Amino acid sequence: MSYDYDLFVIGAGSGGLAASKRAASYGAKVAIAEGDKVGGTCVMRGCIPKKLMVYGSKFSHLFADAVGYGWRPVRAKVNWERLMQAVHQEVNRLSQLHISYLAKAGVELLPFFARFADPHTLELVDRQGEVQQRVTAAKILIAVGGEAIKPNVPGIEYSITSREMFLLPKQPKRLAILGGGYISVEFAGILRGLGTEVIHFLRGDRPLRHFDQDIQDGVYEGMLRHGVDVRPRCHISSLTLTQKGKIRVHYEQQGQTYETKVDAVLCAVGRAPNLQGLGLERAGVHLSANSEGIVAIPVDEYYRTNQEHIFAVGDCTNRVNLTPVAIAEGRAFADTQFGNQPRTLSYENIPSAVFSQPEAASVGLSEAQAKAKLGEDKVKIYRTAFRPLYYSLSGREEKAIVKLVVEKDTGWVLGAHMVGDNAAEIIQGIAIALKMGATKKDFDATLAIHPSTAEEFVTLR
């Protein structure tokens, strides 16, 4: 049977873009469907606009720090509308750039949402839900990413998600944030740096519960120093709208009930694969739910679903939800299926960063994970916490944390963790060492760059 395309990709985010271009480079006839702007979550409403806002929010700290270095004080205030306009311009520029890359690679871009009609046939649907075209493909890749979820709380419809944060016409004077993951702590730092009063509600004791305990503690303490009103062990009972358009957050903490009034509520309690409307049942694609009830597309090591010709990569599989992982998966899929180079991806020692304030980054096992895997007496911890030199003149109370998790018998470095300025840039280099199997002796034999924060990784004793 002949098909319209050798490969049809659903979703022009990080994974879909990488896979389609790589497959086309091998001579495959490829099309990609995207009903939204090209670039996916990372480019349009995630990594890129968020990092630009992180940069923008840090100028308030720089202005204050400059006084300690002899600069005259300045009274600066952010122009929210101008900042958001600049961010959107850059996002749109990058989206157009990705479109040009697709054209250059020979990938046909179809500006529609795609859904299965049968295992090899896709319906292309416009924003009004009308079918505009039907196409067939020998192989189909699902790369639809994820979307923010909201808890079942009365009035939760009054909250916004990270998607809408980039669309706010005015800066909220007072913002409540629900959730303890990286999105919540990043926006807490951004908005606080821009001058918003931020109240951050946590269900547990600390944010970032999947990270090393020192990262959890370091970020939490840093947020408090930066003026974020962090309220741990809270249960949100409801949200109500006032006559003047404010939102009342009703919550319980340590058996007591409270309420507070804010201009906006950011719900950042988690994300889930964006699978609605795909018609997966018509293609016979199976789904599975994890212990937290998140439904995703299960795949094998070559990203194949239960259907021989249908594949999935990126956040819709709910494996490791990071942009570089989706890109690597997309390329590995294309190499395997169209490049005659079968290969899989290793999910060990994947570095990750949280662009919180203070920043945090990590690679490898946390202290708790290492001890659970090897035993308490088989793991040795090297750790230091200190005030970086930069802050000695600024007078600001900031603390950096540098930590190595080491297997005692072999000396292998199992994990590296950091809280502090430029943590992501530093851990990226450390990740290479871990990927190559470096030992503590290798770190010790490496000469330091002095004075720097990074040197602490090679001087820990």
Report how far residue 74's alpha carbon sits from residue 60's, in angstroms, rounded to the nearest whole number. Answer: 10
Give the closest residue to 325 by CA, choosing from 146, 148, 92, 113: 146
Q: Which residues on adjacent β-strands are paired with residue 310?
A: 140
Q: Where are the alpha helices (DSSP H) in 289-403?
A: 323-338, 367-374, 391-394
- DSSP helix/strand/coil, 441: helix
Give the closest residue to 26 by CA, choosing from 313, 282, 336: 336
Tokens of 434: 């871990």
Angle between helices 182-193 and 59-68 (to 10 degrees): 60
Report how far residue 12's alpha carbon sits from residue 15's, in angstroms, rounded to the nearest whole number. Answer: 8
Radius of gyration in angstroms for the set of CA atoms belonging to the chain, rounded to a whole number: 24
Report how far residue 386's alpha carbon sits from residue 460's, in angstroms, rounded to the nearest whole number. Answer: 12
Report how far residue 13's alpha carbon sits from residue 15's, in angstroms, rounded to the nearest whole number. Answer: 6
Report how far residue 218's alpha carbon sits from residue 358's, in angstroms, rounded to the nearest whole number. Answer: 8
**Cα dihedral: 300, 302, 303, 305 (round 10):** -50
Report how far residue 227's alpha carbon sits from residue 380's, in angstroms, rounded to the nearest whole number. Answer: 35
Q: Would residue 210 show up in a list of annotated catalytic residues for this protein?
A: no
**Residues with active-site annotation:** 450
